[in-house]
Amino acid sequence: MNKEKVLQSVESKLKLIYKNDYKTEYMDLLSELISKWEKANWMPNDPVTQKNVYLITYGDSIYESGVPTLETLNKFLQEQVNGVITDVHLLPMFEYTSDDGFSVVDYRQIDKKLGDWNHIQSFAQDFRMMYDFVANHLSKSSSWFQGYLNDEEEYKDFFIPHDENFDYSKVIRPRTSPLFHEYKGKNGVKTAWTTFSEDQVDVNPKSFSMLKELTDVILLYANKGASSIRLDAIGFLWKVSGTSCMHLKETHEIIKLWRILLDYFKKDTQIITETNVPHKENISYLGDGTDEAHMVYQFALPPLVLHTMTTHDSSKLTRWAKTIDKVSETATYFNFLASHDGIGVRATEGILTDEERKVLVDKVVENGGRVSYKNNTDGTQSVYELNINYFDALVNQAEDQTLELKIKKMLAAHSILLSFVGVPAIYYNSLFGSTNDYKGLEESGINRRINREKFEFSFIKEALVSDERRSKVFNGLKALLQLRQAESAFSPYASQNVIDLGPAFFALERVNDQTGEKITFILNVTAKKNDVTVAIKGTNILNNEIIDGKVELEAYEFAWIKA
């Protein structure tokens, strides 16, 4: 798209965002911003293929004494997973005051404990990088919010004070804390909208000055090496009286505005939206498949895989998976099983019953995990997420008693992740075969810390060799990833056809229409040997076994059958 068309498209989006409040000066100011970034040096991105595998990690997940942690993490990944992990998702790497990075003090300032922009850009020469843009809220310690409290003209509309004429009755909350908090201002008490906590103050993009700043930040990230940008909690961005203040049209138009600019400056920079909500709302961020997000988090996958491996019944996963296919040639799903957050269950609404969700809740508690709740508009509370390491979440105490079976189950769960249409993302604690971090949980009192363990460089390097659980999970996942990367049928844009082989199996077919390659995935989701008759001939690329109509699989065993 040439500049003239870009400017026309940008103006169209601004008019849709601001409607009657639109002013021509908005377009003039954004044109100036575009001209500024046209003077910068832009490095091109490569398109996403089946070779892309994301690692979700903190910038200080691996550390050494006296060394910037970004340097240590880069060194470790180059030594251990170079060529297997292609994309590194660095969770918020900026100065922050709470929530393990998600209360950003300055969008443009790297946390000094991690390093600086030079370390980030050096990292980006070795791996494709994914940065977190916590666009919905800032730390109360940020200079912007302090300017708001001090009644500085520049920041007067940057945040959202309580309004007696605003109808808040339908606002959706992921937290049990108050929607508004009071703060001591220069000229008295000021209030501000706080979706997540007293320290995380929602920004106000209804102020064009704020939207311009946010737009400048996302272009900065792309220019500083981001191949992907994750829009954290983006669904809460725009607020309108009498609505849920979630997924509003203006929020979608802002994302589309950013897509236009990223496509112009650095095509194939992936916008990835993080909206932990029911599936239909989640996929709305894909737009028409070409004009909004490139990927959406596949939030239904983690709890549905857990449900399947817990009950040994794939029926619900199979039924849901039949509704999922390729999106377009440029949009797809960001698939994961574990992350820095817990296992969200909201995405299972309309898929699992309350009784089926309770089975997972009870199992998580039995296996040493925690449960987090959200407030409902009717004053009740309901389960929001399950806080537990995914390895521990999978274990059925009565039957998964050997380490061998637990490891097989972990790899089996990830075989679904690696076979499903989309791009796979693996959390660092899953890759390392970790279990619940009770020390982190108890020291912090924060449920999510149970799966945020961090490691000294020499310790984890040695543990991945000497610790049987860690070694077998780590090497098992690496081997699967390497096999997957060689097969074009696993392209994120290849089609998917789910095959119903009964509750004991989960199966699907991936077909790349461009290359003609086809792979059939079959997993035994039970803890005992099973066989199934299928109209398939080919070779199981996992062990080179010839398949001709019958597949026999041991407990938690799976096959990738290439025709």
Q: What secondary structure does DSSP assign to 235-303, as a single string?
A: GGS---TTS-SSS-HHHHHHHHHHHHHHHHHSTTPEEEE---S-HHHHHGGGTTSSSS-SEEE-TTHHH
Q: Is the pLDDT of residue 352 over 80?
A: yes
Q: What is the pLDDT of residue 154?
A: 96
Look at 37-41, 56-60, 218-222, 534-538 and tell me which has the smallest mean pLDDT. Answer: 534-538
Annotated binding site for substrate: 99, 137, 230-232, 340-341, 448
Q: What pLDDT, on the 0 to 100 scale, is given for residue 287?
A: 94
- Distance separating alpha carbons of residues 29 and 209, to the nearest angstrom: 9
How confident is the model at residue 378, as a pLDDT?
77
Question: Cα torsion for 145, 258, 271, 45, to the nearest 10°?
Answer: -120
pLDDT in tens, 452-474: 999 999 999 999 999 999 999 99
For the chain, give every residue range classified as CATH 3.20.20.80: 54-132+207-493
Estimate to the nearest angstrom the gap between the alpha carbon of 211 and the chain centroid. Answer: 23
The pLDDT value recorded for residue 4 is: 94
With cut-offs at 50, 70 and 90, classify the pLDDT of residue 237: very high
Mean pLDDT value of segment 151-180: 94
Specify whether the CB–CB gap between 433 and 467 falls below 8 A: yes
Per-residue confidence (pLDDT) for residue 280, from 0 to 100: 83
Q: Could you write out the DSSP letters of every residue in 298-347?
A: -TTHHHHHHHHHHHT--HHHHHHHTT-----SS-EEEE-S--SS-EE-GG
Parts of the chain belonging to CATH 2.60.40.1180: 496-562
What's the CA dihedral at 13, 19, 21, 25 to 10 degrees? 30
What's the rounded Cα separation, in Å, for the pair 226 and 217? 12
Q: Rounded to whole angstroms, what are the CA distances from 3 to 38, 294, 325, 465?
A: 10, 22, 34, 53
Q: What number is the average pLDDT over the span 40-51? A: 96
Is 232 annotated as catalytic?
A: yes
Per-residue pLDDT tens for 365-411? Answer: 999 999 998 777 777 778 889 999 999 999 999 999 999 999 999 99
Question: Residue 153: pLDDT above 90?
Answer: yes
Percent of the chain with pLDDT over 70: 100
Report the distance separating Cα 263 and Cα 268, nearest Å: 7
User: What percentage of the chain's residues is helix, strand, coil (to nearest 5)?
Assistant: 40, 25, 40
pLDDT for 8 beyond 90: yes
Confidence of residue 174 (pLDDT cuts 50, 70, 90): confident
Position 313: which residue type?
D
Q: Which residue has the higher pLDDT, 85 or 176?
A: 85
Tell me what pLDDT residue 376 has.
72
Tell me, what's the pLDDT at 252?
Answer: 98
pLDDT in tens, 510-539: 999 999 999 999 999 999 999 999 999 999
SS3 418: helix
Condensed to tens digits (0 to 9), the pLDDT of residues 95-111 reads 999 998 999 999 999 99
pTM for this prediction: 0.95
- Looking at domain 54-132+207-493, which CATH architecture does it have? Alpha-Beta Barrel (3.20)
Give how far Cα 502 sits from Cα of 189, 233, 319, 383, 477, Å.
Answer: 62, 37, 11, 30, 27
Average pLDDT value for the chain: 96
Per DSSP, 2 falls in state -
Using CA atoms, how far residue 207 sits from 6, 204, 498, in Å, is 22, 6, 46
**Range in 29-33, 276-280, 554-558 with the lowest mean pLDDT:** 276-280
Task: Output the known binding site.
Answer: 99, 137, 230-232, 340-341, 448
The fold of the 496-562 domain, in CATH, is Immunoglobulin-like (2.60.40)
CA–CA dist 1, 90 (Å, integer): 30
Sign of the CA dihedral with 280 first, then 282, 288, and 289 last: negative
Q: How far is CA 348 from CA 223, 306, 325, 562, in A?
A: 37, 12, 18, 32
Query: Average of pLDDT values for 474-489?
Result: 98
Q: How far, in Å, CA of 528 to CA of 536, rounded? A: 23
Residue tagged active-site, from 132, 232, 392, 437 = 232
